[in-house]
Amino acid sequence: MRGLTKVFGTLRACDGVDLDIARGEIHALLGENGAGKSTLVKMLFGSLEPNAGEIRWNGEAVRIGSPSEARRLGIGMVFQHFSLFEALTAAENIALSLDARTPISTIAAKAQALSYSYGLPLDPYALVGDLSVGERQRIEIIRCLLQTPQLIILDEPTSVLTPQEADKLFETLERLRSEGKSILYISHRLEEVKRMCDRATVLRHGKVVGHCDPRQETASSLARMMVGSEVHAVVRTADTTGSADVLLRVDRLSRPPATPFSIPLRDVSLEVRAGEVIGIAGVAGNGQGEFFEAISGEVLQDRADAVTIRGKGAGREGITGRRRMGAAFVPEERLGHGAAPAMKLSENLLLSRHATDPGVYVGALGVIRHAAIAATAKRINQMMDVRKSAEDPAANALSGGNLQKFIIGRELDRQPAVMVVNQPTWGVDAGAAARIRQSLIELARSGSAVLVISQDLDELFEISDRIAVMHNGELSTPMSRAEATFEKVGLLMGGAEPGHVHHHDPAEVA
């Protein structure tokens, strides 16, 4: 690729990017969120059209106008956000991207044979909606391999896998390399890039900032290339809680599945004490979202004592009720859930705080006190170092990292006794992530109970005092930081893998 450029409005998502991939190598594409990695590979796979630059394939200039043209050339892709159809079977999903003349039964047999030969067992007649994320990725990989590609693009493949599943994936990739196939491996996880990749290209703000041999670099030198400056390591002071008060208690919480493909919660119990951070690990889609909704009060419980906040039963309280009891919640989606996208930061502040701080932001006769809101917004922006283009921009005008800093700051500003955060740094740049993690630790040390749900194991190991794992709607007993290892947590995350559990017995739904 030479001088590839893609412009979205005023944003140059990719700016004159050069990239060479040799036959039989695993080439890493490194970069922070928003560095332009996904945009670049979408152009390579024909889902986006470059504004300038050229792509040469085996020495010849080509124009890749659509994914099917890319496939004809021999380029396959495993997507980050899976491009699978939940209501169809694995075989049907695979069939959709293959030659239309092959009957589905043939495809199913071929897929099964191939999956076993690569050690990625697959049931071709299972509905995708019933499969775990790791199994879905297998379908994507098998689908890609059935097209006999010469170049395989993997977009953040391990972000949804347990450490053990990731090891399995690395074995597969090494086997593919030995078969002479090229792999473009996109990741921001430096350890796995160092371990496996032959060469690396680092992107920052849409530009190539360097080519290197990852095995010659250290993790911190790679990180510096990605971020462009030193990233402050998060400092975790010793946990001194011991027998402090339990501020958040979840007692035998159960919840039936909300949709046919979602997970029921089964008898989840947990205690979070003042002064500690508890991390909940788990592969995406194992009930973490459902758990967060149940704790935050988006979904009510039958029993008031299913969720207890500061000693009072909160199970029948809604979100505002639970906030008034001293809790704060930060959901996974920033736009549309954590903040109203088109409204200004000050308005978003008022929306969540008018009920919890009566009389402060809304005066007599329901008149809004703009001065008080502006003062608080300023305080939050300073505390969390929120970088913005205007004095009071709309929420969707901020970058993901800055908006997340604002939302976390909005909740921290209340000095909540209980703080529950789902995926605190998902899609957030390294600098902002470090800031957010540090503030969560500091909140706990100042005497609050903090519960963090995250898919990022590195993050949980960085900030948690105890770690529990959610798998298939059940929560493990929390392990102290001292006894928790990647391997132990990974095994719990995998549950009964490799075979998957059928979550949906008809009797259960009825």
Partner 1 sequence: MGMAEAILLTIATAATPLLLAAIGELVVERSGVLNLGVEGMMLMGAVVAFGVALATGSAWIGVVAGALAGMAFSLLFGVLALTLVTNQVATGLALTLLGIGLSGMIGVAFVGQPGVKLEAISIPGLTELPLVGRLLFGQDPMFYISILLTAGVMWFLFRTRAGLTLRSVGDSHSSAHALGIKVIAIRYMAVMFGGACAGLAGAQLSLVYTTQWIENMTAGRGWIALALVVFASWRPWRVLAGAYLFGAITIAQLHIQATNLADLAGLPGPLYWLAGAVKSVPSQFLSALPYLATVVVLVLISRNRRLTMMNTPASLGRPFVPDR
**Binding segment toward partner 1, per CB under 8 A, in 78-86, 217-225, 323-331, 455-463:** 78-86
Residue 67 as a binder of partner 1 (CB under 8 A): the answer is: yes
Helix, strand, or coil (residue 314): coil
34: left (phi over 0), alpha (psi -120 to 50) or beta: left
Q: How far is the CB of 57 from partner 1 (least distance, A)?
A: 17
* R_g (Cα) of the chain, nearest Å: 24
Residue 501 as a binder of partner 1 (CB under 8 A): the answer is: no
Residue 148 as a binder of partner 1 (CB under 8 A): the answer is: no
CA distances, 367 to each of 130, 358, 362, 387, 471 (Å): 51, 12, 6, 29, 47
**Cβ closest to partner 1, residue 16 vs residue 129:** 129
**Cβ closest to partner 1, residue 256 vs residue 358:** 256
Q: Would you tell me how many other CB atoms lie within 10 Å of the CB of residue 137?
A: 23
Residue 170 as a binder of partner 1 (CB under 8 A): the answer is: no
| CB proximity list for 145: less than 8 A, separation 6 or greater | 76, 114, 118, 152
Q: How far is the CB of 76 from partner 1 (least distance, A)?
A: 12
Residue 88 as a binder of partner 1 (CB under 8 A): the answer is: yes
Residue 100 as a binder of partner 1 (CB under 8 A): the answer is: yes
Q: How far is the CB of 260 from partner 1 (least distance, A)?
A: 4
Q: Which of 259, 302, 367, 371 binds partner 1 (CB under 8 A)?
A: 259
**Binding segment toward partner 1, per CB under 8 A, in 89-97, 242-250, 351-359, 384-392:** 89-97
Helix, strand, or coil (residue 21): coil
**Cβ closest to partner 1, residue 210 vs residue 427:** 427
Map residues 193-232 to x or -, x wherever contact with partner 1 holds by CB under 8 A. Answer: ----------------------------------------
Determine contact, residues 161/137, Cβ cutoff 8 Å. Answer: yes
Q: Which of 84, 272, 349, 362 binds partner 1 (CB under 8 A)?
A: 84
**Binding segment toward partner 1, per CB under 8 A, in 66-74, 224-232, 438-446, 472-480:** 66-74
| CB proximity list for 9: less than 8 A, separation 6 or greater | none
Q: How far is the CB of 184 from partner 1 (least distance, A)?
A: 17
Restricting to residues 16-55, name those near partner 1 by CB under 8 A. 46-49
Residue 85 as a binder of partner 1 (CB under 8 A): the answer is: yes
Which of these, 215, 188, 192, 193, lies nearest to 203 by C-alpha position? 188
What element of type H or E holds 287?
none
**Binding segment toward partner 1, per CB under 8 A, in 62-70, 111-119, 158-166, 430-438:** 62-70
Q: From CA 273, how far away is CA 93, in angstroms rounded?
A: 46
Q: From CA 444, how far away is CA 277, in angstroms rounded?
A: 6
| CB proximity list for 490: less than 8 A, separation 6 or greater | 162, 163, 164, 457
**Binding segment toward partner 1, per CB under 8 A, in 87-95, 165-173, 275-283, 472-480:** 87-95
**Cβ closest to partner 1, residue 84 vs residue 384:** 84
Show the DSSP H helices in 179-283 as ranges.
190-196, 219-227
Determine contact, residues 139/122, Cβ cutoff 8 Å. Answer: yes
What element of type H or E holds 200?
strand 199-204
Residue 79 as a binder of partner 1 (CB under 8 A): the answer is: yes
Q: How far is the CB of 68 from partner 1 (least distance, A)?
A: 4
Residue 336 as a binder of partner 1 (CB under 8 A): the answer is: no
| CB proximity list for 259: less than 8 A, separation 6 or greater | none
**Cβ closest to partner 1, residue 234 vs residue 335:** 335
Q: Which of 95, 372, 449, 493 binds partner 1 (CB under 8 A)?
A: 95
Determine contact, residues 181/149, Cβ cutoff 8 Å. Answer: yes
**Cβ closest to partner 1, residue 86 vs residue 271:** 86
Helix, strand, or coil (residue 351): helix
**Cβ closest to partner 1, residue 28 vs residue 48:** 48
What's the 3-state SS for 431-480?
HHHHHHHHHHHHHHHCCCEEEEECCCHHHHHHHCCEEEEEECCEECCCEE
Residue 396 as a binder of partner 1 (CB under 8 A): the answer is: no
**Cβ closest to partner 1, residue 46 vs residue 326:** 46
Q: How far is the CB of 87 from partner 1 (least distance, A)?
A: 5
Q: From CA 363, how far away is CA 279, in angstroms rounded?
A: 39
CA distances, 361 to each of 341, 349, 413 (Å): 21, 10, 14
Joined together, the tokens standing for residue 51 give 């504004």
Residue 71 as a binder of partner 1 (CB under 8 A): the answer is: yes
Size of site (CB under 8 A) for partner 1: 31
The residue with tokens 């152009």 is 43
Which of these, 162, 155, 171, lies nearest to 120 by C-alpha position? 171
Q: How far is the CB of 339 from partner 1 (least distance, A)?
A: 23
Residue 147 as a binder of partner 1 (CB under 8 A): the answer is: no
**Binding segment toward partner 1, per CB under 8 A, in 60-68, 295-303, 347-355, 376-384:** 60-68
Residue 12 as a binder of partner 1 (CB under 8 A): the answer is: no
Which residues would be at the binding site for partner 1 (CB under 8 A)?
Answer: 46-49, 66-69, 71, 79, 82-88, 92, 95-97, 100, 104, 127, 129, 259-260, 504, 506, 509-510
